[in-house]
Amino acid sequence: MTQSPNPGSTYVEWRHQLRDGLKPLQESLDPLFHETQLFRIYSSTLMPGLLQTEDYAAAVLRRVADSPGLPFDDSTEAARARVERSRILHQPGHEFVLLVEESVLYHQIPEPEAMAAQLENLATASALPAVSLGIIPLDTRERAQVPQETFHVYDDTLVSVELISAEVKITQPSEIALYLQMFEQLRSMAVYGAEARALILKALESLR
């Protein structure tokens, strides 16, 4: 782990986080997820982990496992652990505000059949009482004015930003406030409910 010059953040290279494999990293997130009441997640390239099917998660993690330096491929076990953690969506005491780019619906990470199942799962999850799913349409003009890295906000105490080579964890209140402001800006661009489900159905039809 590398300490950032900013005392309110840490910069952790993925190669260090994954040195024991993919599954231990997935399991290490369990305490944080159970402690968090409000999740705010913006995902620019992939389905949010909490909404991934096992086949989709396995396809994503298999690509990670192909990276140089990983000791072995435990992507199947890691995918199972990720999906197991998603049971928190049904547990009381948690709220999930999730934003994804419409383009994510068309990134065919797994095979078409598995991708279709993932889109159906996304539509189903969007109707859960604790879940607010917003989709930012491709033709949103304001979209070009904001950054595109995926980030997670856990309550108001931690922001996790996913970079290509590392994860940045931010705890400085002033910086967290900036991410919350950005999240609300992105949230205002998204569509919800029937409009969001129509975009999911459109992507699903494109597979058929």
Ramachandran quadrant class, 195 (left: phi over 0; alpha: psi -120 to 50; beta: rest): alpha
Estimate the crossing angle of helix 112-125 against helix 54-65, to 10 degrees.
120
pTM as predicted: 0.88
Angstrom distance (rounded) from CA 56 to CA 157: 29
- Give the residue from 75, 30, 169, 82 showing the smallest Cα distance to 161: 169
Angstrom distance (rounded) from CA 174 to CA 194: 35
pLDDT of residue 147: 63
Q: For every one of its 208 residues, what pLDDT tens digit does the chain have, with 9 covering 90 and above?
A: 444 445 566 876 766 777 778 888 889 899 999 999 999 999 999 999 999 999 999 999 988 877 666 777 788 999 999 999 999 999 999 999 999 999 999 998 999 999 999 999 999 999 999 999 999 999 887 665 666 789 999 999 999 998 766 789 999 999 999 999 999 999 999 999 999 999 999 999 998 7
Tokens standing for 46? 């992939």
Q: Going from the N-terminus, what domains does the chain have, and what CATH number goes with each?
A: 2-207 (3.30.870.10)
Question: What is the pairing mode between strands 9-13 and 2-3?
Answer: antiparallel
Angstrom distance (rounded) from CA 171 to CA 169: 7
pLDDT of residue 117: 97
